[in-house]
Structure formats: structure tokens, C-alpha cells
Amino acid sequence: MTAWLPSRLSLSLAGALLAGATLATSVEARELSVSTVLSDAFPWGQAAQKWADLVEERSNGELTLRVYPNSQLVNGDQTREFSAMRSGLIDLAVGSTINWSPQVPELNLFSLPFLMPDEAAVDAVTGGTAGDLVFDAIESRGVVPLGWGENGFRQVSNSRGVIDEPADLEGLKIRVVGSPLFQDTFSAMGANPTQMSWADAKPALTTGAVDGQENPLSVFDVARIDQVGQSYVTLWNYMNDPLVFAANQQVWSSLSDEEKTLLRETAIEAGVWEIKMTREQEADRLAAIEERGVTVTELTEEQLEAFVSATESVYSKWTPRIGEELLEAARADIGTP
């Protein structure tokens, strides 16, 4: 009978194996989801993938970020991304200030028309007092901001003709994102703004349901918007869309100090890398677009001022919603009155 009983040695070995299994489980890699609107064919998606690559490399695989592009985690509705992350359905995101602005009104700062004329102004705002205030506003709503990226300045295109004065927009159906501020901006210039998701935009341009759209050149180039009748592009830099690397607050709280430091440092690094890449590619993208037969119009200062004047009413309506203090801080950062 005793032959069937385990020996002390076998019991010790079993205990060691069990302890080893427990240890292996405790250090098992943790996977966090990362939401983005665009895939890695675009700089936006590449920013998320860069973040994931840096985290995996520096955590030795113990922390993994899985990127879900094309707004998969919110069934294609990009304006729901912030709410989904705040509620815990999404762990991390590289999100657009535009898409998050319905839940964080302060983010509408970046959508105010013609506030930031160039890249230096964008950097002054995101790196200045206004940028700190915006990050505070995001965090107060249950999401922890970690770093900045950039979708770039948004330009307008259409299938009808050259746009170099507000009158050229009169009656044009322009696809805009799901932000009331965009509707007010294009309405002020006489256009007929039509809100729709990016997933619906290209089919609508193909059928002629809308006449035009506004997006950074990177989106126009990679998505080949010229193939759906968009033969005219106007460079007017009317607003810039910074991206925000961020984490759900509960997920953030569950991380160790080392993991928090890793996520924040790699987010900042990925953002710097993506901003530099996006800006360096701009000239080549513009050349490629022109080579495909698209008519590109660059506005003179006088022409640009006509659009600025046409959208002054937007500031009267939106400054109270965004916050006078925040707008003043942004103007001080930029160095404009």
C-alpha cells in the first residue's frame, strides 16, 4: 500500500512546480487595448503602433499594447471613443481633440478657426500654459493624458472648383466631423456642412452626396480622396488637430509606478516621433497630390483675412463654452492679442 504514497521528494518537487507555475502567472504579460481612428497606413495609426512597439521593447514583453484601428472598439463611431475610454471599455487611446471635444469642451480650443497660423503656434499652445489647462480638463473627466501627437493642419477640398474666397463655399455640401463647432464655422462661411463619420465620408464623396471635405493632407493623400472627385484643394491651415495619448483612469491607477513611467515616457517619445514625421512628409504629400492632377490653391494674406473675418462670429458663440481664461492663455502662448 505504501508504494502508492508520494515520497517527501516527490512532494517537494510538486510544490516547487506549483510555486513556479504561480510565479509564472504573476509575471504574465498584461495586455492593454489602444484605440485609434485611423490605421497604420496613416501617421495617426503609426503613432499608436510606435507607442506599442516602444512599450513592448522596454518592458521586455511584460506589458503589451494591442492597437485597434478604425474605431473598432466603438463600432466605427469615433465620437464615442472618449466616453468608451472613460467608462473602461477602452484602456488607452491615441485620440483626436476634435473627436473628444463633445465630452471635453475645452478641446474645442484647437478647432477655433484660424487661431493657430503655423506649427510654431501649435507647439506654443500644446507646450504652454494652455496645453497644461487642457490636460487638466481631460483628467478631470476620468481620462489621464500622457502626451501630444498631431494629425496636422486641416485643408479643404471639393469637386466643384477653386475656393479662394468665402463666396466660393456658398451652398457647397461639406462633410464635417461630429462637432457643432465645425458646423458653425462652415455655416458662417456660407457652406452647407454635413456631419458624418469618416467611414461614411468616402462613399458620400463618391456618389456626390457631398461636394467636399476637410482633412489634413496626410488623410487626403493616403486615402486617395482625389479618386472620388476631389479635384480642388485649398491650403488655408484653418485649424490644427493635435492628438492625445491617454489612459483610462482606473487602468492607470492599477499600474505600478514603473509601468506608469514607462507608458508616459513612451507616449511622449512616440508623439515627438510622429509629429516630426508628419511635418517632414507634408511637402512630399503636396507634390504627390499635385502630380495626380489636383489643383492646389495657396491663399494670399488678403484672401486668408477674408475667411478670418467671415468666421469671427464663431468666437462670440464658442469662447464662453471653451473658457475665456483658456483662450487668453492660448493667445498669450502664441503671442497674439
Per-residue confidence band for 328, with pLDDT thresholds at 50, 70 and 90: very high
Look at residue 221 and tell me whether its pLDDT is greater than 50: yes
Query: Does the pLDDT value for residue 24 go beyond 60?
Result: no
pLDDT band at 268 (very low <50, low <70, confident <90, very high): very high
**Residue 2 in this model has a pLDDT that exceeds 50:** no
pLDDT of residue 15: 44
Residue 139: pLDDT band by 50, 70, 90 thresholds? very high
CA 100 vs. chain centroid, Å, equals: 9
Query: What pLDDT score was predicted for residue 22?
Result: 37
Average pLDDT over residues 105-127: 97
Backbone torsions φ then ψ of 241, nearest 5 degrees? -115, 90
Helix then strand count (H, E) for the chain reads: 14, 11
Rounded alpha-carbon distances, angstroms, from residue 235 to 155, 216, 238: 5, 10, 8
Cα–Cα distance, 164 to 314 (Å, whole number): 20
**Phi/psi of residue 143, nearest 5 degrees:** -130, 135
Q: In terms of pLDDT, which residue wins out, 171 or 78?
A: 171
Instruction: Give me 272's grid cell.
Output: 515627438
Per-residue confidence (pLDDT) for residue 186, from 0 to 100? 98
pLDDT of residue 78: 87
DSSP state of 88: T
Q: How far apart are CA 305 and CA 301, in angstroms?
A: 6
The pLDDT value recorded for residue 25 is: 37
**What are the structural domains, with CATH classification, of the chain?**
29-334 (3.40.190.170)
pTM of the model: 0.89
Mean pLDDT of the region 116-133: 98
- pLDDT tens digits for range 83-96: 999 999 999 999 99
pLDDT for 79: 87
